[in-house]
Amino acid sequence: MVRSLNARAVGNLGIAAALTIFLGGCGSMSLPSFSSSPPPAPEPGVAPEMPASIRADEIVGRWGLASYQNPNDRARTEAAARSQCKQPYVITAGGTGGVVMHLADQATPQELRLKGSPSGKNYIGPAGPTPGEQDREIVSFDGRVLVTRFVDKDAGVRYGNMVYVRCAPRA
């Protein structure tokens, strides 16, 4: 009697396992549809690059640079960036209309593009989709102070909000 109950329990578990596998496969199977609903729309392609509302020549120049994590530290960080003008970070014009800057964790600067987006945000980064993982979002820009943050979460945590304060022209 005990042997018969064990055999029955094992049999029931086997059937349950087979049904689970069979039904799990149904979720990924594509069965013909007899409804009149239209087929799903294809995935949208990469949109063409949009121009940024900030021109490259507006950010070319000498900048004091500092960064902050806590938004309450922004004013203090701007003052710290201004004091860095003794050793400015220089943004130069690129050969194809971009600006020459460093990407996160790259020792050699390269030409980057200023890119717009459908949401109205501006980005600085290599050619490609906007926003790309190597892009930095322009959080604010008033002509004198530029605040950016990297799109990549890891780089964003390491570098924080980058504050560039325009250095006065050399006398």
pLDDT at 29: 46
**Residue 38 belongs to some domain of the structure:** no
**Residue 26 belongs to some domain of the structure:** no
H/E stretch holding 143 reads: none
Q: What is the mean pLDDT of residues 77-103?
A: 97
Within 8 A by CB and 6+ apart from 117, the residues are 50, 123, 130, 131
**Residue 160 belongs to some domain of the structure:** yes
Beta bridge partners of 145: 165
30-60 pLDDT tens trace: 444 454 555 554 444 445 679 999 999 999 9
149: containing domain: 50-166
To which residue do tokens 């020549």 refer?
57
**Residue 1 belongs to some domain of the structure:** no
**Residue 110 belongs to some domain of the structure:** yes
pLDDT at 146: 98
**Residue 105 belongs to some domain of the structure:** yes
* Separation CA 151–CA 143 (nearest Å): 22
Q: Judging by beta carbons within 10 Å of its beta carbon (0-12, 13-18, 19+), is residue 165 exposed, middle or buried? A: buried
Instruction: For residue 46, give the 3-state DSSP assignment.
Output: coil
pLDDT at 43: 41
**Residue 80 belongs to some domain of the structure:** yes
pLDDT at 8: 60
Evaluate if pTM is beyond 0.85: no
**Residues 40/45/51/56 CA torsion (nearest 10 deg):** 140
**Residue 54 belongs to some domain of the structure:** yes
User: What is the number of structural domains in the chain?
Assistant: 1
pLDDT at 73: 97
* Separation CA 86–CA 11 (nearest Å): 81
